[in-house]
Amino acid sequence: MLASPADQWMVDILALVLHHDEQAVLVAVEMALAEGVATRTHVLNLLHRLIDGKTIGGPDIDTPQALILQREPEANVERYDGLRALSTGGRNAS
């Protein structure tokens, strides 16, 4: 029987204790669960931050007024197609 991807992720997370302190792995897993992002990649990221002594959950950054967006980005495929037509002379890739 083949293991599901979730089963493989769990095995990978459990195997972290072979290379890292068990308590650090447990803290990383608990943090990931508390954040609602229980993925192998996130647990590993949190674990490395704990080991390296990086700040987790640091202070909020007060963004200067000059960095606030003047125009919010929008999904506009027509604009992209128009720009592409200008650069390719109106030719379509297909």
pTM of the model: 0.54
pLDDT at residue number 30: 93
Q: What is the pLDDT of residue 93?
A: 55
40-82: per-residue pLDDT in tens?
Answer: 899 999 999 998 887 666 677 777 887 888 888 888 878 777 7
Task: Give the angle subtended at the CA of 29 by the CAs of 27 and 30, to the nearest 5°.
Answer: 65
Give helix 40-52 / helix 5-15 axis angle, nearest 10°. 20
Q: Which residue has the higher pLDDT, 57 or 13?
A: 13
Compute the CA torsion angle 59, 64, 65, 67 (nearest 10 deg): -100
d(CA 45, CA 52): 11
Distance separating alpha carbons of residues 5 and 27, to the nearest angstrom: 23
Per-residue pLDDT tens digits for 33-48: 999 988 889 999 999 9
Is 30 within 8 Å of 41 (Cβ atoms)? no
